[in-house]
Every structure is written in C-alpha cells, then in structure tokens.
Amino acid sequence: MTGNGAGGSAPDAKAAVSSKILTIPNLLSFFRLALIPFFLGFIIAGQGGWALIVLVVSSVTDFLDGYLARRLGQISRLGQLLDPAADRLYIFAALIGLAFQGVIPWWLMGAIIGRDVMLLVLGIVLANHGYGPLPVHHLGKVATFCLFFALPLLMLGEAVPVVAAVSLPLGWAFALWGAFLYWWAGFIYIRETLRVIRIPVDAAAE
C-alpha cells in the first residue's frame, strides 16, 4: 500500500503537508473507504470473486492516491490519516468475513483485531502523558505485509477451487506468521510505551 503522501523521492519527501480536505487523493481515499461495506458484504455472501475485484480496485485506488498526492503536491494531514485507516479496515473486513464463512477461526480474527485494540489503548496512554504515537516498528510493517498477502490468498482459494491446493496453504502460512509478528511487534510497543512514560518494566509487571 502506497499511502496518501507516503514515499517518493527526496524532493517529494520535503513537500509541504496541507490541511486541505477536498483534494483528488483524498476523494480517492474516501472512495476506497466507501468500498469497504461492499467488500465485507461480498465475503459474507460467499461472493469471493466479487470481493477480490473490489480489493483489486481498492489497491489501484490506493496506488493512485499516493502517486497523485506526490505528483500534484496535494499531500495532506487528512490523507495521511485516511490511508492507514483504510488499510486497517480492509484487514478487519476480510478477517470478519472469512471468520463468518468459517475459512479462518474466530480466535485468529480476535487475536489480530485485539492487538490493534491494544495499540489504541497504548496511544491513549501516551496521549495522556503528552506524547504522540510511537514510530512504526519494522516488525509491524512485516506483519502487516504478511496479512495483506495472506487474506487475498485465502479468499482466492475459496473463490477459485482449482488453485486452493496452493493458495490456501500459502495463505495460512502468511496469516499465522503475520499474526505472530503482529503480537511480537505489539509487545515491543508495550515495552517502548513503558519506557517513554518512564515506568520501569519490572515495576509495571509487579
């Protein structure tokens, strides 16, 4: 996922971040968010092929909003919030839909969503102590990549049985590895939060 204003060359990285709302990249991000209910509905209804089409359209839109934000100089604070939010919501929608269909167990869905709830709590703790969110750890990035790769593979295996023998095992491998790394990164965030707010880890564990 490219991000609304992420990446780019050195000159792009120095581009001003605006507070505008109605920009072309932001409109694309809103469109991407509007597709999420359709994405979830198709998965729950067992329409895996249509869900994959929506996911492809969303991915193309994600690339375009990031590209246009840099190209047109329309990087915005709102866009920087919308893009990761959309990524998370697509993951949640895929997890809920696949769990509803019995493709993945509910405990796996709960484990992944529970970790993000934990990060939300950590963010509140940091804010109460006057700190912003922690920098994204590379393990968290790898875990998110694994999940982005795993969920479409699982959906593909359900939608196209002829590739299920390959798609499903690969999807499960990436899903379990992603969930493990997700929580590994989560524990690192807990440790860093305790360090930042100056609460010794040993004392917090007592």
Rounded to 5°, the CA angle 173-177-178 comes to 115
**SS3 state of residue 35:** coil
Evaluated on CA atoms 86, 88, 92, 95, the torsion sign reads positive
pLDDT tens by residue, 30-69: 999 999 999 999 989 888 889 989 988 988 888 888 888 8
pLDDT-derived band at 199, boundaries 50, 70, 90 = low
d(CA 166, CA 168): 6
Helix (H) or strand (E) holding 135: none
Domain edges within the chain: 1-102, 104-206
Contact yes or no for 39/51 (Cβ under 8 A): yes
**Residue tagged 């990436």 (tokens):** 174
The structure's pTM equals 0.74
**pLDDT per residue as tens digits for the range 4-34:** 554 444 444 445 777 777 788 888 889 999 9
Mean pLDDT value across residues 152-163? 88
Instruction: Give the torsion sign (CA, 98, 58, 32, 185).
Output: positive
